[in-house]
Amino acid sequence: MNQADLSKLVSALRIAVKPKPRRFSCPEGPAGRLEKLRATVTALVKYERIELNHPRAEEAQGYAERLISDAIRNGDCHKHTMEMADYWLNEKQLVHKLFKVLVPRYQNYNSSFTRLVLGPKTYPGYYVGTAILELKGNPFPALQPETHNYHYWLHNVLLEEAKKEFRSARQDRNAGTTESVTAES
Amino acid sequence: MLRRAVLQTFRQGLAQSFFKRNAVSLSETTVTHQPIETSNEADEKSVSKQKPGDESGNTVVVAPPEFRFMYPEFLPDPAMERRNRLKEKLERIDMLQRRSVVEIPEFYTGSVMAVTVADANSPNKFARFVGICIQRGGSGLRAWFILRNVVDKQGVEILYEMYCPLIQKIEVLRLERRLDESLLYLRDALPEYSTFPLDMEPERRLNNSVVPINPLKVKLRPRPWLERWERQNLQGVEDLNLPQRFYDKAEKVAKPWEKYDLMLQYRKTIPAEEQEKIFADVHSQLQQQEFKRKIRRQHSALNDSHMVRVGRDANPNQTRISGSIVPSCMLSSAGDMTFRLETYHY
């Protein structure tokens, strides 16, 4: 009670995890929620980039990250991990893809394995809007342009130094002229 | 010696990080990933024993994996709304401080324990209770456990907060585990399963490295019960022999999908990397305390044979209605340690 569960060792997820899970209404009730998310996670692993509604994308992102992090931590000989992979991936060839393709791809990652990009909110429609959920390292062209930090590139470093020199030279010049003015008065 | 090595590592690490910070401004191009970290982590995971601080730079002191079972209250409450790293760190310091004063031994649900509490209203100023630990919970300084015993045909349960300053002594008379993490079903079991003599002596274990699991299956009294035990998947209970409708309803009400709910599991657990950090923080001090206690015990064992005892029984663990109970630590040689009977000073 209030103590952390010790039965399983879990890797830290590198996405923002909300404290409470979302409910998805469906005829089967709470059982149906996991069925829906299962379909989403299967599609994500199969197609590596899917467009869907934002709430489901956020929930599925968590489950996909957990599945991949468990596969990386425990490998395919671990009984519990294999059971989870078997449950979450409806198509059995994707279990092979998870352990043979995705695990080596994400072995040395220090960031999250998935990326959630907000999509268009078409009017009229679902208010919360769409999202694109993709696995990093997928073969498709990037959704967003890559941002590089150009601050430390040589030409920028030289320009910064030149700016500093110019400003200090200007200060010295101004100081020189004011001194001469005060001396005269 | 271990502490010095750890301090040295810490100082070296500090110096290195300082150097790195200055170096970055001159030669950094883009921020690159450092795959070295993860491979280090993998090594640490495979090593179950603690690595002492080496002379070379980047070694990290890691606690053995059993620490999370021995000291579960050092892990914080997993609920995300209540996490506060600073508060947890301060709590851990306080917990270690308390543990340096009173020995809080390793115990599990199913162990038989004796707790001595300071009680102003009792004739001896102490109150000792022996019982089986049926549940433990809480995190940090609020960690608690419940002891159950049957005294004069009356079932008695007492909840003790492990870090309460009134607690004078916690002894584990029998260290073992049961098939379940919670033994609340003993309330509905036959009284013999919860009865332990109040003057029970501590049992010595032959094999100190493994905590035995007692495969006892308990018989429950006939219904009505306090809880619907048939719905709880208990291992340590004998066949309940209920009519089939109970099991049918249990199936209807069950949530078998929760077993596969990975995010539910995640929200109930502290991630392994954080656990390692917490125990690495704490284990060197715990080990030092353990070591000091061992030495003290050896000293007192040597001195007990020479000491003349006045007004005290040969068995230090017997409860007495009249006369005072003198804990064994008070009999150790002068200047060794003082027994703190007065109130806890904050």
Q: pLDDT class for B142, splitting at 50, 70, 90?
A: very high
Beta-sheet strand order (sheet of B167-174): B154-161, B144-151, B126-137, B112-118, B167-174
Q: Which residues contact B191 (CB under 8 A, 6 or more apart)?
A: B150, B153, B155
Q: B144 φ, ψ to 5°? A: -135, 165
Q: Which residue has the tokens 């990037």?
A: A142
Q: Given this model, what pLDDT does residue B36 score?
A: 34
Is a pLDDT exceeding 60 seen at residue B158? yes
Residue type at A24 in one-letter notation: F
Q: Given this model, what pLDDT does residue B3 score?
A: 54
Is a pLDDT exceeding 60 seen at residue B313? no
Q: Given this model, what pLDDT does residue B294 score?
A: 87
Q: Given this model, what pLDDT does residue B38 score?
A: 36
Residue type at B332 in one-letter notation: S
Chain A's closest residue to B29, CA to CA, is: A152
Query: Nearest Cα to B112, choosing from B182, B70, B170, B181?
Result: B170
Distance CA B80, CA A102 (A): 29
Q: How far is CA A99 from the centre of its chain?
A: 20
Distance CA A131, CA A134 (A): 10
Q: Output A34-37 pairs: Cβ under 8 A, ≥24 positions apart.
A: A34/B257, A34/B260, A34/B261, A37/A63
Query: Nearest Cα to A114, choosing from A35, A34, A17?
Result: A17
Q: Which residues in chain B touch residue A2, judged by CB atoms under 8 angstroms apart? A: 77, 79, 137-139, 142
Is a pLDDT exceeding 90 seen at residue B16? no
Residue pair A64/B262 in contact (Cβ under 8 Å)? The answer is no
Residue pair B209/B175 in contact (Cβ under 8 Å)? The answer is no
Q: Which residue has the tokens 């914080």?
A: B76
Write out the two tokens for B210: 């493994």
Report the share of chain B in percent with pLDDT over 90.
59
SS3 A76: coil
Q: B242-292: per-residue pLDDT in tens?
A: 999 999 999 999 999 999 999 999 999 999 999 999 999 898 899 899 899
Q: Which residues in chain B touch residue A82, judged by CB atoms under 8 angstroms apart? A: none
Under an 8 A CB cutoff, do B80 and A21 touch? Answer: no
SS3 A61: helix
Q: B213-222: per-residue pLDDT in tens?
A: 999 999 999 9
Residue pair B133/B194 in contact (Cβ under 8 Å)? The answer is no
Q: pLDDT class for B59, splitting at 50, 70, 90?
A: low
Q: Which residues contact B88 (CB under 8 A, 6 or more apart)?
A: B76, B140, B278
Residues B74-87, mean pLDDT to the nearest whole number: 94
Write out the two tokens for B171: 């002894």
Under an 8 A CB cutoff, do B139 and A2 touch? Answer: yes
Q: Which residue has the tokens 């274990």?
A: B205
Q: pLDDT class for B4, splitting at 50, 70, 90?
A: low
Q: Given this model, what pLDDT does residue B346 score?
A: 31
Q: Which residues in chain B touch residue A87, judged by CB atoms under 8 angstroms apart? A: 260
Q: Which residues in chain A touch residue B139, judged by CB atoms under 8 angstroms apart? A: 2-4
Report the share of chain B in percent with pLDDT over 70.
70
pLDDT averaged per 10 residues, chain A (length 185) = 87 96 92 96 98 96 98 96 97 96 97 96 89 96 91 96 97 90 70
DSSP B201-219: PPPPPS-SSSPPB----BP
Q: pLDDT class for B318, splitting at 50, 70, 90?
A: very low
Is a pLDDT exceeding 90 seen at residue B12? no
Query: Would an 8 Å CB–CB cutoff place A8 in contact with chain B?
Result: yes
Q: Given this model, what pLDDT does residue B64 score?
A: 74
Write out the two tokens for B194: 């919860």
Q: Which residues in chain B touch residue A83, judged by CB atoms under 8 angstroms apart? A: 260
Is a pLDDT exceeding 50 seen at residue B172? yes
- Which of B29, B79, B269 is facing A152, going by the closest CB pair? B29
Task: Select from A1, A3, A158 the residue whose CB has the most chain B CBs within 10 Å, as the one to mutate to test that interface.
Answer: A3
Query: Would an 8 Å CB–CB cutoff place A122 in contact with chain B?
Result: no
Under an 8 A CB cutoff, do B68 and A6 touch? Answer: yes
Q: What's the ipTM?
A: 0.83
Q: Which residues contact B173 (CB under 8 A, 6 or more apart)?
A: B111, B112, B113, B114, B130, B196, B200, B201, B202, B203
Query: Would an 8 Å CB–CB cutoff place A10 in contact with chain B?
Result: yes
Beta-sheet strand order (sheet of A114-118): A49-53, A130-135, A114-118
Query: Would an 8 Å CB–CB cutoff place A126 in contact with chain B?
Result: no
Q: Which residues in chain B touch residue A4, judged by CB atoms under 8 angstroms apart? A: 72, 75-78, 139, 268-270
Residue pair B108/B86 in contact (Cβ under 8 Å)? The answer is no
Q: How far is A178 from chain B (nearest CA, A)?
A: 36
Distance CA B286, CA B291 (A): 9
Q: Which residues in chain B touch residue A67, judged by CB atoms under 8 angstroms apart? A: 262
Write out the two tokens for A168: 């200090």
Q: Given this model, what pLDDT does residue B57 score?
A: 57
Under an 8 A CB cutoff, do B75 and A3 touch? Answer: yes
Of A119-128, B50-59, B114-123, the one with minimum mean pLDDT is B50-59
The alpha carbon dihedral of A61, A67, A70, A75 has a sign of negative
**Bond preceding residue B222 cis, omega within 30 of 0:** no
- pTM value? 0.74
Q: pLDDT class for B63, splitting at 50, 70, 90?
A: confident
Q: Given this model, what pLDDT does residue B338 score?
A: 31
- Which of A1, A3, A10 is facing B272, going by the closest CB pair? A10
Q: Given this model, what pLDDT does residue B258 score?
A: 95
Q: pLDDT class for B69, splitting at 50, 70, 90?
A: very high
Q: Given this model, what pLDDT does residue B293 score?
A: 87
